[in-house]
Amino acid sequence: MALNPEDFTTLLLEERDDRLTVLLNRPEVRNAIDQKMVDELHAVCAELERNPKVLIIAGTNGVFASGADIGQLRERRRDDALQGINSTIFVRIAKLPMPVIAALDGYCLGGGAELAYAADFRIGTPSVRIGNPETGLGIMAAAGATWRLKELVGEPKAKEILLAGAVLRAEEALRINLITGIYEAPELIDAAHALADRIARQDPMAVRITKSVFHAPAEAHPVIDTLAQGILFESQAKFDRMQAFLDKKSAASHDKDAPAQDRNRK
């Protein structure tokens, strides 16, 4: 493992061959995102860019992330804002080669919500509370919410969250597809791994290229689709997987056409 879990103080890491699970772990401040956590998330991204795997992000102690660390945020000035401290790491997470799954529990507010918006998939528990209360603190949600949220839930609901401080419960988040499943807290990580298992059954290169093409600008299509398909058409995985499909179909057809007594002998 290139990442040593003992080197991290705000994150708990668990790695498998095809995925990395990262738990936000600052329970004393409800997993508020501070500079140290941002730095450690950059280290995680650097490893996943070198060695692409599915990333599962979750919280600890019944909380995903209560937002940015207000103590640090209060002291930041214009030049700090212009650095885009949180937006830079969230963009990097969104651009990871393999899919990112956010498993949400409890508070998912402010910067925590923007981290969740950067994921490819979001699932949650019945206790999820997700939203962006930044305007109530005299600032704006500047780490992706103003544009990602509109894409995810549409302009009217995005404005209700961003301008009126609406905090959504799990049922409403599910209804508007901000999350795609609700699971009891003890089952949440298992559900995230089940989704990762489904992704793992696909061809990794096809998943990576599909994710890249999906997020390409509209004006890049359909040219980029055609070029990407051309790359995949030459991959050995394409030939192997299609041949396996044809072999399975042929075997099923043979079994269907075989006399009943032959099938019984099998």
Q: Which two tokens stand for residue 100?
A: 């990112």
Residue 138 φ/ψ region, left for φ over 0, alpha for ψ in the -120 to 50 degree band, beta for the rest: left
Alpha-carbon gap, residue 225 to 213, rounded angstroms? 7
Alpha-carbon gap, residue 5 to 8, rounded angstroms? 6
Q: Which two tokens stand for residue 25?
A: 């772990």
Alpha-carbon gap, residue 4 to 182, rounded angstroms? 32
The residues that are catalytic are 114, 134
What residues pair up with 101 in beta bridges, in sequence order? 56, 121
Q: Which two tokens stand for residue 13?
A: 């890491």
